[in-house]
A and B are shown apart, each in its own frame.
Chain A
Amino acid sequence: MKVAIIGNGIAGITAARWIRKLSDSTEITVISEEGDYFFSRTALMYIYMGHMRLQDTQPYENWFWEKNRINLLKGRVETVDFNNKTLKIKDNSDFVYDKLIIATGSKSNKFGWAGQDLDGVHGLYHLQDLAAMERHTATGINRAVVVGGGLIGIEMAEMFHSRHIPVTFLVRENSFWDNILPAEESAMINRHINEHGIDLRLGTEMDSIVDENNDGKLDALQIKNGEKLPCQFVGLTVGVSPNIDFLKNTPLSINKGIKVNNYLETNQLDVYAIGDCVELETPQAGRRPIEAIWYTGKMMGETVAYNIVGKKVQYNPGIWFNSAKFFDIEYQVYGDIRATKPDEHETIYWEHAEGKHAIRINFDRNTEGVVGFNLMGIRYRHEVCEKWIKEGTKVETVLQNLGLANFDPEFYKEYEQEVVNIYNQKFNKSLQLKTKRGLNAVTRFLKAAF
Chain B
Amino acid sequence: MQVEQSLSLANPSPIHTTVRQKIGLSAVTIGFLMFLVAFFSGQDAANWSPVLYFALMAGLIIGGAVVFIRDEYIGKPEGIKNNSVYFHNLSSREALIGLLVSLFGWLGLTQLPAFGMGSFTSWNAYYVLQLAVAAYFGNKTFRRETLSQMSARGLGAWMLGIFLTGFYVVLYWYGEKMVSLIAIFDPLSKLVSNSPADKWFVYGTLYTAGVLVMGYKFALKYKHNRYQLIRTASVSFFQLGFAFLIPSFLKMMNEPDYYFTYFWPLKTDPLKPDGINYIVQSSSHGIGWYFIAFSAFMTFAGVPILTYFYGKRWYCSWVCGCGGLAETVGDPFRQLSDKSLGAWKFERWMIHSVLVFVTIMTALLWINSAYQGAVLGDLSHGFSKTYGFLIGSIFSGVVGTGFYPILGSRGWCRFGCPQAAILGIFQRKKSKFRITTNGSQCISCGNCSTYCEMGIDVRAYAQRGQDVVRASCVGCGICAAVCPRGVLRLENGDLDIDERTEAVRAIHVKDGMLEVDNSFSL
Known: A34-B1, A409-B226, A409-B477. A163 touches B13 (CB 8 A): yes
Known: A303-B509, A332-B441, A386-B516. A52 touches B79 (CB 8 A): no
- Besides the known contacts A48-B7, A58-B446, A439-B491, 7 further A-B residue pairs in the complex with CB atoms under 8 A apart: A40-B446, A42-B444, A59-B460, A302-B509, A383-B439, A409-B226, A412-B227
Q: Is A57 an interface residue (CB 8 A)?
A: yes
User: Contact between A52 and B446 (Cβ–Cβ < 8 Å)?
Assistant: yes
User: Contact between B6 and A51 (Cβ–Cβ < 8 Å)?
Assistant: no
The answer, among A10, A48, A449, A450, for a CB contact under 8 Å with B444, is: A10
Top 4 nearest A-B pairs (CB, nearest first) are A382-B439, A328-B79, A439-B493, A379-B486
User: Contact between B480 and A409 (Cβ–Cβ < 8 Å)?
Assistant: yes
- Complex Cα distance, B2 from A295, in Å, reads 28
Residues of A136-191 at the interface with B, using a CB-CB cut-off of 8 Å, are 138-140, 162-164
Q: Is B225 an interface residue (CB 8 A)?
A: yes
Q: Is A426 an interface residue (CB 8 A)?
A: no
Q: Is B485 an interface residue (CB 8 A)?
A: yes
Which residues of B pack against A, CB within 8 Å? 1-4, 6-9, 11-14, 16, 77-80, 82-87, 224-227, 230, 340-341, 436, 438-441, 443-447, 449-450, 459-460, 463, 477, 480-482, 484-486, 489-496, 505, 507-509, 512-516, 518, 521-522
- Complex Cα distance, B8 from A208, in Å, reads 29
The answer, among B80, B84, B495, for a CB contact under 8 Å with A440, is: B495
The answer, among B11, B460, B485, for a CB contact under 8 Å with A325, is: B485
- Complex Cα distance, B440 from A48, in Å, reads 26
Q: Which residue of B lies closest to A132 (CB)?
A: B4
Q: Which residues of A contact B340 (CB under 8 A)?
A: 61
Q: How far is the CB of A286 from chain B (nearest CB, A)?
A: 15
Between-chain CB contacts (< 8 Å), 20 pairs: A42-B443, A42-B444, A47-B7, A52-B445, A53-B8, A61-B341, A140-B14, A195-B77, A295-B443, A314-B513, A379-B438, A380-B486, A409-B225, A409-B227, A410-B477, A440-B494, A443-B496, A446-B518, A446-B521, A447-B495
Q: Which residues of A contact B508 (CB under 8 A)?
A: 302
User: Contact between A318 and B514 (Cβ–Cβ < 8 Å)?
Assistant: yes
Q: Which residue of A lies closest to B2 (CB)?
A: A128
User: Contact between B444 and A59 (Cβ–Cβ < 8 Å)?
Assistant: yes
Q: Is A270 an interface residue (CB 8 A)?
A: no
User: Contact between A328 and B495 (Cβ–Cβ < 8 Å)?
Assistant: no
Q: Is A109 an interface residue (CB 8 A)?
A: no
Per-residue contact bits, chain A 46-82, to B (CB 8 Å; 1 contact, 0 not)? 1111111110111101000000000000000000000
- Complex Cα distance, B516 from A299, in Å, reads 11
Q: Is A203 an interface residue (CB 8 A)?
A: no
User: Contact between B226 and A316 (Cβ–Cβ < 8 Å)?
Assistant: no
Q: Is A131 an interface residue (CB 8 A)?
A: yes
- Complex Cα distance, B1 from A410, in Å, reads 46
Residues of A294-311 at the interface with B, using a CB-CB cut-off of 8 Å, are 294-295, 298-299, 302-303, 306, 311
Which residues of A pack against B, CB within 8 Å? 10, 33-35, 40, 42-43, 46-54, 56-59, 61, 126-128, 130-131, 134-135, 138-140, 162-164, 192, 195-196, 294-295, 298-299, 302-303, 306, 311-318, 321, 323-325, 327-328, 330, 332, 375, 379-383, 386, 407-413, 438-440, 442-444, 446-447, 449-450
- Complex Cα distance, B508 from A381, in Å, reads 17
- Complex Cα distance, B8 from A202, in Å, reads 30
Which residue of B4, B482, B484 has the most chain A CB atoms within 10 A of its CB atom? B484
User: Contact between B450 and A56 (Cβ–Cβ < 8 Å)?
Assistant: yes
The answer, among A294, A314, A327, A438, for a CB contact under 8 Å with B514, is: A314
Q: Which residues of B contact A408 (CB under 8 A)?
A: 489
Q: Which residues of A contact B445 (CB under 8 A)?
A: 40, 42-43, 46, 52, 57
User: Contact between A50 and B495 (Cβ–Cβ < 8 Å)?
Assistant: no
User: Contact between B485 and A302 (Cβ–Cβ < 8 Å)?
Assistant: no
- Complex Cα distance, B447 from A35, in Å, reads 20
Known: A294-B443, A302-B514. A47 touches B8 (CB 8 A): yes
Q: Which residue of B lies closest to A312 (CB)?
A: B512
- Complex Cα distance, B340 from A323, in Å, reads 28
Q: How far is the CB of B346 from chain A (nearest CB, A)?
A: 14
- Complex Cα distance, B496 from A47, in Å, reads 38
Q: Which residue of B lies closest to A293 (CB)?
A: B443
Known: A128-B3, A407-B438, A447-B521. A49 touches B494 (CB 8 A): no
The answer, among A35, A50, A318, A381, for a CB contact under 8 Å with B87, is: A50
Q: Which residue of A lies closest to B85 (CB)?
A: A50
- Complex Cα distance, B9 from A192, in Å, reads 28
- Complex Cα distance, B439 from A350, in Å, reads 24
The answer, among A196, A314, A439, for a CB contact under 8 Å with B77, is: A196
User: Contact between A327 and B77 (Cβ–Cβ < 8 Å)?
Assistant: yes
Known: A311-B512, A383-B516, A410-B227. A130 touches B7 (CB 8 A): yes
User: Contact between A306 and B505 (Cβ–Cβ < 8 Å)?
Assistant: no
User: Contact between A327 and B79 (Cβ–Cβ < 8 Å)?
Assistant: yes
Known: A321-B440, A332-B441, A411-B227. A134 touches B490 (CB 8 A): no
User: Contact between B83 and A59 (Cβ–Cβ < 8 Å)?
Assistant: no
- Complex Cα distance, B225 from A58, in Å, reads 28
User: Contact between A135 and B444 (Cβ–Cβ < 8 Å)?
Assistant: no
User: Contact between A131 and B7 (Cβ–Cβ < 8 Å)?
Assistant: yes
Q: Which residues of B contact A135 (CB under 8 A)?
A: 4
User: Contact between A51 and B490 (Cβ–Cβ < 8 Å)?
Assistant: no
Q: Which residues of B contact A328 (CB under 8 A)?
A: 77-80, 224
The answer, among A49, A56, A138, for a CB contact under 8 Å with B446, is: A56
Q: How far is the CB of A32 from chain B (nearest CB, A)?
A: 11
User: Contact between A409 and B481 (Cβ–Cβ < 8 Å)?
Assistant: yes
Q: Which residues of B contact A327 (CB under 8 A)?
A: 77, 79
- Complex Cα distance, B441 from A375, in Å, reads 13
User: Contact between A318 and B515 (Cβ–Cβ < 8 Å)?
Assistant: yes
The answer, among A162, A306, A380, for a CB contact under 8 Å with B509, is: A306
User: Contact between A131 and B493 (Cβ–Cβ < 8 Å)?
Assistant: no
Q: How far is the CB of A363 from chain B (nearest CB, A)?
A: 21
- Complex Cα distance, B467 from A439, in Å, reads 12
